[in-house]
Amino acid sequence: MKYISTRGGGGERSFADQLLSGLAEDGGLYMPTHWPHVSAAQQAGFRDQPFAETAAALLRLYTDVSWHEALPRMTQEAFAGFSAPEVAPLRRLRTPSGQPLWLMELFHGPTLAFKDIAMQLLARLMNHALTARQSRATILVATSGDTGAAAVRAFAGQAQLQLVVLYPHGRISEVQRRQMTTAPDANVHALAVDGSFDDCQRMVKALLCDQAACRRWQLAGVNSINWGRVMAQLVYYFTALAQLPQAEEREASFAVPTGNFGDIFAGYAAARMGAPIARLIIASNQNDVLPRLLASGRYAPQQVSATTSPAMDIQWPSNLERLLFDAGGRDAGMVRTAYAALAEAGAWQLPPDLQRALKARFDAETVSEADAADAIRRWHGQGEGQGVLLDPHSAIGVVAAERQLDKGDGAGRLVSLATAHPAKFPDAVEAACGERPQLPPDLAAALNAPERMQRLRASTDALHSMLADLCG
């Protein structure tokens, strides 16, 4: 498998090349040159094998042969520490109207968020590539909370790299912040940016497009701009389908709490590989740039509003570029035109055929703060004899799923992604339902550990200067 830029420049790259860069030199995102196909017979085999084995089988399709021997070891190591043996188990719920709804729990990793599934694997993939090249790297991470925490847990202490994490100051939960700022490892640097996640992401992208900076510090990215993240996340769409009860109707739909569009794009990738996915439901908070895009065809980012679901407080979702490229017939010229228009005018109108293509596969729901809090309250204490405690992001996914069920879409085969443990957002959960979720002991200790962080202006020049101080 080779990789190309969504903006058409630079020719083809190997898996290792794109893994250790993040962004393409022309500012685009890397995409595989084609979608490998996974047959129905192969997918049936996933029902009888562990998550790590399924991951290794799917990752082989996106790597070259030099990786194949090491992949089973890396996937086994990546998921060995998860608290659920299934890694991403399904939980059967029933809505008040009696309709079945499946909750895919993606928070059983070491930092209690779905980002662990990809980040634990990505750390091993990057370490393997760096070791083979006898090289070092400086990893830049822009985070709205969970990505940074997962990266710190996965990359802390690795001698051959520096990890620089940018998060929006005052816009993430205390638990999220402390998971990044209490790491004692010398290779971890937490930067509190005076701005939004979009500002953090813009700064990281600018540095990754600066070839002189990339050469000086051997820069790499592990946000979902890195294809390795998306590749790892598509695995659990296949395993979810394998866990569902077998019925005449094989297709299922997925409701996905959506911010930077990486998690739901992984579902799109799985569908393009042959996974029987009927609909992908964009579940958005009030930062509803994606529902507005789907409804009107106009991509027009606005000012970010701070909410109790900070991972979704985004107006410039990076992985939308991958979707526009692929759903638009892999037209790199169209993508260049779109992002040039966004840079100049702050908005861009989808071609009508592209808007129809998106509507053919996606639905979208905007969920208010009040509706998310109400869902946490309603589901607390329900769930076939067990309480269901949702974090605000997962609650948004469940509300979107309930609305789709009310419309008659996906009945009996609808999976909602639970992307974070409620203990990561204890204030919001307690305010909604009166119960304060408890952190596991190892994470609770972080609440009393000393913090290390530096404040940073929302400026690419400021980040450049900071890297010079940190990395020389």
* CB neighbours of residue 355 within 10 Å: 18
Q: Any idea what DSSP says for residue 23?
A: B
115 as an active site residue: the answer is: yes
Strand extents, DSSP E, 11-113: 30-32, 90-94, 100-105
Six-digit token pair at 109?
């990793």
The rounded distance, in Å, linking the Cα atoms of 143 and 141 is 6
The rounded distance, in Å, linking the Cα atoms of 246 and 226 is 34
Q: State the amino acid at position 119 in one-letter form.
A: M
Residue the block writes with tokens 């992307």: 419
Helix (DSSP H) and strand (DSSP E) numbers for the chain = 22, 15
Q: Compute the half-sphere exposure of residue 179: CA atoms within 13 Å on the CB side of its CA.
A: 32
The C-alpha angle with vertex 83 and arms to 441 and 50, in degrees rounded to 5, equals 170
The rounded distance, in Å, linking the Cα atoms of 93 and 375 is 13
The rounded distance, in Å, linking the Cα atoms of 93 and 114 is 20
**Of these residues, 2, 115, 359, 424, which one is catalytic?**
115
Residues known to be catalytic: 115
